[in-house]
Structure 1
Amino acid sequence: MHSDVLIVGAGPAGLSLSIALAQAGFTSTVLDQQPGAALAAPAPDGREIALTHPSVALLQRLGSWQGLAAHEVGRLHDAQVHDGPVRPQAGMVLHAGGSGVDHLGWIVPNHALRRTAYAVAARTPGVRILSGAQVTRVAVQPDRAEVDYTQNGAPGERLTAPLVVAADSRFSGMRRQLGMGAAMTDFGRTVIVCRMRHQAPHGGTAHECFGYDRTLAILPLPGDPEGHATLPHLCSAVVTADSADAAALLALSPEDFTARVAAQFQHRLGAMQLMGERHAYPLVAVYAQRFTGPRCALVGDAAVGMHPVTAHGYNLGLAGVERLARTLADARAQGRDVGDAAALAQYARAHHRHAWPIYQGTNAIVRLYTDARPLPRLLRQVVLAGASRLPPLKAAIVSQLTGRRPAWPTPLP
């Protein structure tokens, strides 16, 4: 055996798992087809990740949180949900009151999380990273898992371990080779993400604006480290539209695109300016039919790929990393084979109980808030009004956003 665990995919989930396993006394080999330079210094991809309190606590224990620069860490103080045209009074306002914390969570660029995860994994004893490694075959035998790969044009090699873990995206080729199917929901829409400078302060407030044709999210970011005389503040703009509309938006000049976003947001942030590139991603949600099997497991997006509207995807992936590492540590403490299907089933059951309601609830929200018919519009208004007027329901929503249970019986204002 070359290590205790083989991990295919050096994204945040795979790298975080390797660090967690090392802290638990396991050795791991991480394979990724990207070159080492791209893993060590990932290019910005436009995505900003909202993190819950438990997720940040895990990243701190892993050591990757400490590698983030001050200008890469922003705080989400509250969130406003708007149905239809943006109005001065939001349909629902969410804040951390009653949850035991003073803010909803944090927001960090995706590329910064990838960079710090790689930096920690690369210097962690017991973690071996093979960059530029193209996996050609994965198979499980009664006594081992096997991964064949080529690297930088060299002859193919084979690695063996008691367990192999797929962490190679929601369109996982590893998952397919392991014979694990997945249910995919193609929303037929595209999300465009970009950064914008703006004039008025955002106050740490996130906005989710469910338009009838387009959905717009405005996420507060830390101030521009380079400074700007007239537009000193930064936000992330996330526009979701059908594919044809998204193509038209991407074809606009930076000035015209900015004008569209500013107009949909009713110019609440004053003058705005596009900063950098626009990035587009198709919206496809994925839920694997199984999370584990004999000598194999799935983590991160390979297990569950979420729609980003409720900001659960990354947090769910980190929860899976922590859960799988704990399951393997428990198995070893009991003298069990970490690749045994029965031992891995504990992780699969727990992660399914956690992920399934969040996945289905998120998809239901997406369908409800992108349907322009009269009845769904009325239902949206009823849902928002009910959540705003029922403190227990509102507290339950906040507990999902923060990752913490509400501090009962403290009333919400």
Structure 2
Amino acid sequence: MANDIVIVGAGPVGLCLARALSGLGLRITLIEQQPLNEISDPKFDGREIALTQKSVRFMQQLGLWDLIDPDARSPLRRAKVFNGASLSALEIGHELAGHTELGWLVSNYLIRKAAYDAVHRSIVENHDVTLLAAEKVSSVKSDDVSASVTLESGKTLSARLIIAADSRFSATRKMMGIPADMRDFGKSMLVCRMTHEQPHQYTAWEWFGYGQTLALLPMNPDRSTNAHQSSVVLTLPACEATGLASLDPGEFSANLEQRFARRLGVMKLASTRHLYPLVSVYPERFVGKRFAAVGDAAVGMHPVTAHGFNFGLASVETLCKGIVAAHRNGVDVGAESVLSRYGDSHRRATRPLYLATRLVTDIYTNSSVPAKLARNIMLRAASFSMPFRKAIAASLTG
């Protein structure tokens, strides 16, 4: 089967990429190892995505934003960073960025559903996207003339460009021989929704404790009870997180209430619980011969800065601009010049924050006495620095 572009991975980034490239006269095939029903009707997975203003604008361009129920889009107006048991915090408000909100919080599964629906619309209207579900790539080849992927089912698809959008542990990237800097923190993220007694004022919390990190992502009130509701993200050593997730709902709720020092009053579990390994990944390069990586396959961020999916959308936007320009000018979309510009641009956009995030997590998850002193000094200094706070606000809005 001949294609212009083959995208490996039909998660939200892969689907957004297919949607962005549809309607240009290119033949696109999406390959996903999950069955079609899991792509078309994804289930709640605990993850809430903090979207920047820039990401929302791009989703509007792709026709995704209006496919998401407005009641499921929670505004993020403020962010607070706590250190240890201190009641004082570094606070970042929306007014520092000149918007009525810093960004928006939307469930990952709803973004996936909207992305699939948008791609399905492209399939019906443009007839230029083919989705192959329940298929797994077994090998990838590329040379100066073309590229190809072979599936475990025996099919081989040729293309001018192969794009990996298959997670931070990308098998496709590995098949292309691209090494990656991978940091396994030896911890797990436990994520779920909880209702609580005290209002959150649409403020996100990042709470660096000792032996744990807590995050609170403000959601809209529960539809049935109108109770205050948030997504809770708890980072713990993997074995401890697994044990906590196995507690019955009542014990679990009481445990989380205590971990939040009862600052939110009574807390109650309001969803299923989910565990994810905490691993950050940064490849040696984002491109190869007739190959490019996007999304988490390009940059797998630590969630502390909430930039993972935003970087994913940025990679889609940057790569698409290069592909569109090349196609309109009659240039091969898999040409080295096209891909190297994308690789250089995305590296400049992501590398500084990736390294800064590594530094922050190293300091704020270290319980040694020097680290405790350093984190206190850094947080206090940042609280009194208006340029620094404005820079953080600009980063959160994108």
**Normalised-by-shorter TM-score class:** over 0.9
Aligned to 1:139: 141
Question: Any idea what SS the aligned residue of 2:6 has?
Answer: strand
Question: Any idea what SS the aligned residue of 2:222 has?
Answer: coil
Letter in 2 for 1:294: K
Unaligned runs of 5+ in 1: 404-413
Aligned to 1:27: 27
Question: Any idea what SS the aligned residue of 1:378 has?
Answer: helix
Aligned to 2:239: 244
In 2: Cα distance, 1:388 partner to 1:294 partner? 46
User: What's the CA shift for 1:3?
Assistant: 2.4
Aligned to 2:171: 173
In 2: Cα distance, 1:251 partner to 1:16 partner? 35
Could you give the per-residue CA deviations for residues 244-303 of structure 1, whole angstroms, max 9, x where no partner exists? 321331232222221122122222222211112211111010011111111110000011
Letter in 1 for 2:132: L
User: What's the CA shift for 1:370?
Assistant: 0.6
In 2: Cα distance, 1:68 partner to 1:201 partner? 24
Aligned to 1:395: 390
| Contact 1:209–1:217 (CA under 8 A) maintained in structure 2 | yes
| Contact 1:149–1:158 (CA under 8 A) maintained in structure 2 | yes
Aligned to 1:291: 286
User: What's the CA shift for 1:25?
Assistant: 4.3
Per mean C-alpha deviation after superposition, the further-off stretch among 266-275 and 209-218 is 266-275
In 2: Cα distance, 1:95 partner to 1:355 partner? 24
Per mean C-alpha deviation after superposition, the further-off stretch among 173-182 and 260-269 is 260-269
User: What's the CA shift for 1:24?
Assistant: 4.3
**Mapping of 1:72-87 within 5 angstroms?**
72-85=72-85, 87=87
Question: Any idea what SS the aligned residue of 1:286 has?
Answer: strand
Letter in 2 for 1:202: H
In 1: Cα distance, 2:145 partner to 2:185 partner? 41
**Mapping of 1:150-299 within 5 angstroms?**
150=152, 156-225=154-223, 227-228=224-225, 232-299=227-294
Question: Any idea what SS the aligned residue of 2:149 has?
Answer: strand
| Contact 1:85–1:264 (CA under 8 A) maintained in structure 2 | no
Aligned to 1:128: 130
In 1: Cα distance, 2:184 partner to 2:96 partner? 37
User: What's the CA shift for 1:158?
Assistant: 1.3
Could you give the per-residue CA deviations for residues 44-98 of structure 1, whole angstroms, max 9, x where no partner exists? 11000000000000001001111111232101010111000152xx320111223
In 1: Cα distance, 2:177 partner to 2:253 partner? 45
| Contact 1:122–1:128 (CA under 8 A) maintained in structure 2 | no
User: What's the CA shift for 1:333?
Assistant: 3.1
**Mapping of 1:305-384 within 5 angstroms?**
305-384=300-379
Unaligned runs of 5+ in 2: none
User: What's the CA shift for 1:142?
Assistant: 2.2
| Contact 2:96–2:393 (CA under 8 A) maintained in structure 1 | no
| Contact 1:5–1:165 (CA under 8 A) maintained in structure 2 | yes
User: What's the CA shift for 1:358?
Assistant: 1.1
Letter in 1 for 2:149: V
Question: Any idea what SS the aligned residue of 1:133 has?
Answer: coil
Structure 1 residue 386 corresponds to structure 2 residue 386 = no
In 1: Cα distance, 2:97 partner to 2:209 partner? 30
Question: Any idea what SS the aligned residue of 2:367 has?
Answer: coil
TM-score, normalised on structure 1?
A: 0.92
Percent sequence identity is 42
Question: Any idea what SS the aligned residue of 1:220 has?
Answer: strand
In 1: Cα distance, 2:138 partner to 2:368 partner? 48
In 2: Cα distance, 1:185 partner to 1:245 partner? 20
User: What's the CA shift for 1:329?
Assistant: 1.4
| Contact 1:182–1:286 (CA under 8 A) maintained in structure 2 | yes
Could you give the per-residue CA deviations for residues 5-27 of structure 1, whole angstroms, max 9, x where no partner exists? 10000001111011111154433
Could you give the per-residue CA deviations for residues 356-413 of structure 1, whole angstroms, max 9, x where no partner exists? 111111111111111111111111111111111111111111111111xxxxxxxxxx
User: What's the CA shift for 1:311?
Assistant: 0.1
Structure 1 residue aligned with 2:299, among 301, 304, 315?
A: 304
Question: Any idea what SS the aligned residue of 2:22 has?
Answer: helix
Could you give the per-residue CA deviations for residues 337-361 of structure 1, whole angstroms, max 9, x where no partner exists? 1111122100000000011111111
Letter in 2 for 1:43: K
Question: Any idea what SS the aligned residue of 1:387 has?
Answer: helix
| Contact 1:191–1:239 (CA under 8 A) maintained in structure 2 | yes
Aligned to 2:48: 48
| Contact 1:21–1:27 (CA under 8 A) maintained in structure 2 | no
TM-score, normalised on structure 2?
A: 0.96
